Amino acid sequence: MDNLLVAENIVKNFGEFRALNNVSIEVPKGSIFGLLGPNGAGKTTLIRIINQIAMPDEGLVILDGENLKPEHIRDIGYLPEERGLYKTMKVGEQALYLAQLKGLSKAEAKKQLKYWFDKFEIGDWWNKKIQELSKGMAQKIQFIVTVLHKPKLLIFDEPFSGFDPINANMIKDEILQLRDEGATVIFSTHRMESVEELCDNIALIHESNKILDGKLLDIKREYKSNTFEIGLLTDHKAEVIQNLKEKFQVTDATFKTINDELKFNIKIENGASPNQLISHLTSKGELTHFVEVIPSVNDIFIQTVQNN
Amino acid sequence: MNHLGLITKREFLNKVKNKSFILMTFLSPLIMVGVITLVVYLTQLNNDKVHTISVLDESELFANEFVDTESTKYDRLESIDLETAKKLVQETGNYGLLYIPKGDNIDAIADKIKFFSEESPSLMVMDRIEDKIEEKARNIKLKNSGLDPVAVNKLKVKINANLETFEGEKTSKEGSLLKLAAGGIAGYLLFMFIIIYGNMIMRSVIEEKTSRIIEVIISSVKPTQLLLGKIFGTTLAGITQFLTWVIVGGLLFVIVSAVFGIDIAGAQMEQQQEVLNQVANNPAAQDGFNVLLQEFLNLPIANLIVMFIFFFIGGYLLYASLYAAIGAAVDNETDTQQFMLPIIMPLMLAIYVGFFTVIENPHGTVSQVFSYIPFTSPVVMLMRIPFGVPIWQQLISLVLLFGTFFVTVLLAAKIYRVGILMYGKKPSYKELAKWLKY
């Protein structure tokens, strides 16, 4: 597969402290890549290395087939977690300035800004100062200046913080649209439900080491335990559960239903077909609920970090 | 490098558009001119009042000494006793009463001379009166000893060594004072500028840190570029403000003296007239006056101005990079205190060396050494230049200054690069040293 960004064996030390230890990632072109990890794991350091804010002590970063070089700055759009704008500068001036720093000409920057300001319906903010805007409003400006120069690679660090659900949804749609238009996105967040929703690939960094990476679906397949969540309507609850426990690995389960079912999880052998289980269950009562338990990113995250 | 221009422009415009900057730029000369006008006006108001001093001279020796002048009138009282005279003076509301008693000899009289007044008299008035009495008394004593006061006056020798350089240029002590003033003003101005605009840079770095825009910016430009852009932008803003002060201040002075200040100009004219009269009456003084004028024209003014600009740029850049590094190392302005001392110290040292050592001996070893050390050279060298410093010395000093700037800005950039992304803790000097290695 064609990778837009490859980082190979990145090592970064801060004095005695090793912030990144031989970390490698591969980000396929046109995908959304989730960079996950607990606080202080080294995610921001890796992102800063990709942005050439920090230099790696060892290792190599390749962007679109070339070794990372200063000119690549304009191919990257970065929304840092610690972000802000000049408080006393006017919105328009500021956006123009930041766009020009990214290498756009003034005319081009104006054109792009008009497009985005119209799109977000914020044209009348142009002459306001940032300090007059609310946090959410300022975040929108920040998002615009990040994507304005149409970079190949977009790096978002906690992009949804500071947004209400409506605006967060709007930003999410924008990210997906940018992806569809060909941009590659690296996405770092602690909000696992958005990783679930958006990411094609993930990498998990813990205590300076990468401990997990790959396609999200592959990882989920790997982490699933052939467990099914079952709801069964029967008049003889005790008898049925006793019977099942003799044949299968049964654990308790809680989920919401409208009837008074018997609720439990059953784990079957690797490779065994769930059909057998289903026919066995239907003989015991009325099957109302049968779902394979797929591990959430949240579960995978917690499980992997705790095991390391 | 296009970015450097962009950043410089933004920094400059941001400073210049700032309301308090505009206010300061236009208000400061106004305040300055206002204060000076007020002082001049008040002084004149004070002088305008004509004092009338009553004189009761029982000794009858000083009859001809007290001649009315513009600011002081003398009212001779005769054939009344002291008590009556006192009452009379109080009633008429005169400034005071000078009482000279009868006596056997001058010394006895001198001891008993008294001045009565409502309030304590001004020093200037008393000086004038005392001078008059002293001169007369001396003349009387000279006569008593059989000497001719006129002849004695002729015997007085006034020593004013005529200074001349080996090249044959005439100079004078007054000229030295002039040089000192020119150098001192230039040096002090530089010192003030470095502190004011250095702080401005520091605040602007801290602002970027606290507003958290810094990471957005340095994902687009190299921190060193940002640092340089900030320094250049603020320098330009500083120069703009300075020039505005000079121009606005100058204009205001002209306007003020034209509208209200006929008196100011008048007073100056009068003084000048007085000086000119003196000069005209005294050939020796005329010579001295010419020398002084010559002195002023002989001051290496062009040299001073050119070097002021170069040393200003060099010294300012050097210190500005330090200020920026400090700004990057801390989170807020209150934390900067501990790092300010090492910056202020060499500057203070330069000012002290300038005002004490350079006055003593402009070309002595200490003066020379400090005019080479880059952290003190801008101030000290500027103070030395009016006394004539060989151009090669100035150039060496400049080269050292700019060389040090390049080293310092590299080190500052390292601290800056690390510091701008560090939040939350106040670093120690040890940590700063560690940052240099990152």
Which of A51-55, A178-182, B287-291 shows the lowest per-residue confidence on average (mean pLDDT)? B287-291
Residues sharing a CB contact under 8 Å with residue B110, sequence separation 6 or more, in sequence order: B133, B137
Per the CB < 8 A criterion, the answer to whether A37 and A210 are in contact is no
Q: Is residue B163 part of a domain?
A: no
Mean pLDDT of B76-82: 79
Number of domains in chain B: 2
How many CB atoms are closer than 10 A to CB A19? 21
- How distant is the Cα of B5 from the closest Cα of chain A, in angstroms? 10
Q: Which of A15, A87, A101 sits opposite B217 (nearest CB)?
A: A101
Question: B378 or B299, which is more confident?
Answer: B378
**Residue A208 to residue B331: CA distance in whole angstroms:** 27
Predicted confidence at residue A297, as pLDDT, reads 87
Residues of B in contact with A78 (CB under 8 A): 215-216, 219
Residues of B in contact with A83 (CB under 8 A): 212-213, 215-216
Predicted confidence at residue B403, as pLDDT, reads 94
Q: In terms of domains, do B119 and B229 share one?
A: no
Predicted confidence at residue B269, as pLDDT, reads 47
Residue-wise pLDDT for B384-433, tens only, equals 888 878 888 889 999 999 999 999 888 888 888 888 887 766 777 877 77
Question: Which chain B residue lies closest to A45 (C-alpha atoms)?
Answer: B421
% of chain B residues with pLDDT over 90: 4
Residues of B in contact with A102 (CB under 8 A): 220
Q: In terms of domains, do B25 and B87 share one?
A: no
Torsion of CA A269, A275, A280, A286, to 10 degrees: 130
Which of B41-50, B337-346, B416-425 shows the lowest per-residue confidence on average (mean pLDDT)? B41-50
Predicted confidence at residue B429, as pLDDT, reads 80
Q: In terms of domains, do B143 and B216 share one?
A: no
Per the CB < 8 A criterion, the answer to whether A9 and A276 are in contact is no
Mean confidence (pLDDT) of chain B: 79
Question: Minimal CA–CA distance to B241: which of B32, B26, B7?
Answer: B26
The partner residues of A206 in beta bridges, in order of sequence, read: A209
Q: In terms of domains, do B305 and B395 share one?
A: yes
Residue-wise pLDDT for A23-43, tens only, equals 999 999 999 999 998 888 889
Greatest mean pLDDT among B77-91, B167-181, B200-214 lies in: B200-214
Catalogue all structural domains in chain A, each as residue range(s) with its CATH number. Answer: 3-221 (3.40.50.300), 225-292 (3.30.70)
Q: Is residue B68 part of a domain?
A: yes
Q: What domain range includes position B129?
A: 50-155
Predicted confidence at residue B265, as pLDDT, reads 45
Q: Is residue B320 part of a domain?
A: yes
Q: Which of A48, A52, A83 sits opposite B216 (nearest CB)?
A: A83
The verdict on A92 touching B (C-beta cutoff 8 Å) is: no
Predicted confidence at residue B294, as pLDDT, reads 61
The helix or strand, by DSSP H or E, that contains position A289, with its residue range, turns out to be strand A286-292
Q: Is residue B224 part of a domain?
A: yes
Q: In terms of domains, do B67 and B122 share one?
A: yes
Predicted confidence at residue B162, as pLDDT, reads 62
Q: Is residue B45 part of a domain?
A: no
Confidence of residue B160 (pLDDT cuts 50, 70, 90): low
Q: Residue B86 corresponds to which amino acid?
A: K
Confidence of residue B141 (pLDDT cuts 50, 70, 90): confident
Interchain proximity A15–B10, CB inside 8 Å: no
Is the pLDDT assigned to residue B340 strictly greater than 80?
yes
Query: Does residue A24 sit in helix, strand or coil?
Result: strand
Q: In terms of domains, do B115 and B259 share one?
A: no
The helix or strand, by DSSP H or E, that contains position A9, with its residue range, turns out to be strand A3-14
Interchain proximity B216–A80, CB inside 8 Å: yes
Q: Is residue B160 part of a domain?
A: no
Mean pLDDT of B128-144: 83
Q: Is residue B43 part of a domain?
A: no
The partner residues of B59 in beta bridges, in order of sequence, read: none
**Residue B301 to residue B118: CA distance in whole angstroms:** 52
User: Count of A–B CB contacts within 8 Å?
Assistant: 62
Interchain proximity B438–A82, CB inside 8 Å: no
Q: In terms of domains, do B18 and B81 share one?
A: no
Q: In terms of domains, do B262 and B204 share one?
A: yes
**Residue B420 to residue B431: CA distance in whole angstroms:** 14
Estimate the share of chain B in helix, then strand, then coil, as percent rounded to the nearest 5: 75, 5, 20
Mean pLDDT of A77-101: 89
**Residue B230 to residue B237: CA distance in whole angstroms:** 11
Residue-wise pLDDT for A206-265, tens only, equals 988 998 888 988 998 888 888 899 998 888 888 888 888 888 888 888 888 888 888 889
Mean pLDDT of B187-204: 86
The verdict on A147 touching B (C-beta cutoff 8 Å) is: no
Q: Which of B125, B155, B185 is the last residue of a domain?
A: B155
Q: Which of B122, B155, B188 is the last residue of a domain?
A: B155
Q: What is the ipTM of this complex?
A: 0.78
Is the pLDDT assigned to residue B203 strictly greater than 80?
yes
Is the pLDDT assigned to residue A305 strictly greater than 80?
yes
**Mutation for testing the A interface, residue in B219, B420, B425 having most A CBs under 10 Å:** B219
Residues of B in contact with A14 (CB under 8 A): 438
Question: A149 or B63, which is more confident?
Answer: A149
- How distant is the Cα of B191 from the closest Cα of chain A, in angstroms? 30
Is the pLDDT assigned to residue A84 strictly greater than 60?
yes
What's CA B177's distance to the chain center, in Å? 12
Q: In terms of domains, do B190 and B243 share one?
A: yes
Q: In terms of domains, do B276 and B425 share one?
A: yes
Is the pLDDT assigned to residue A155 strictly greater than 90?
yes
Q: Which of B108, B125, B155 is the last residue of a domain?
A: B155
% of chain B residues with pLDDT over 70: 83
- What 8-state DSSP symbol labels residue A100? H
Residues of B in contact with A88 (CB under 8 A): 14, 18
The helix or strand, by DSSP H or E, that contains position A201, with its residue range, turns out to be strand A201-206
Predicted confidence at residue B168, as pLDDT, reads 52
The verdict on A24 touching B (C-beta cutoff 8 Å) is: no
Mean pLDDT of A83-98: 89
Q: Is residue B374 part of a domain?
A: yes
How many CB atoms are closer than 10 A to CB A172? 16
Confidence of residue B167 (pLDDT cuts 50, 70, 90): low
Tokens of A85: 């704008």
Cα–Cα separations (whole angstroms), residue B229 to A17, A203, A233, B326, B343: 32, 38, 74, 17, 21
Q: In terms of domains, do B289 and B267 share one?
A: yes
- The CATH number covering residue B125 comes to 3.40.190.10
Q: What is the CA radius of gyration of chain A?
A: 24
Per the CB < 8 A criterion, the answer to whether A275 and A223 are in contact is no
Is the pLDDT assigned to residue B377 strictly greater than 60?
yes
Per the CB < 8 A criterion, the answer to whether A153 and A32 are in contact is no
Confidence of residue B290 (pLDDT cuts 50, 70, 90): low
Residues of B in contact with A86 (CB under 8 A): 14, 207-208, 211, 213
Predicted confidence at residue B262, as pLDDT, reads 46
Confidence of residue A153 (pLDDT cuts 50, 70, 90): very high
**Residue B96 to residue B116: CA distance in whole angstroms:** 5
Per the CB < 8 A criterion, the answer to whether A29 and B194 are in contact is no
Mean pLDDT of B299-319: 81
Is the pLDDT assigned to residue B279 strictly greater than 50?
no
Per the CB < 8 A criterion, the answer to whether A8 and A62 are in contact is yes
**Residue B398 to residue B306: CA distance in whole angstroms:** 12
Q: In terms of domains, do B129 and B9 share one?
A: no
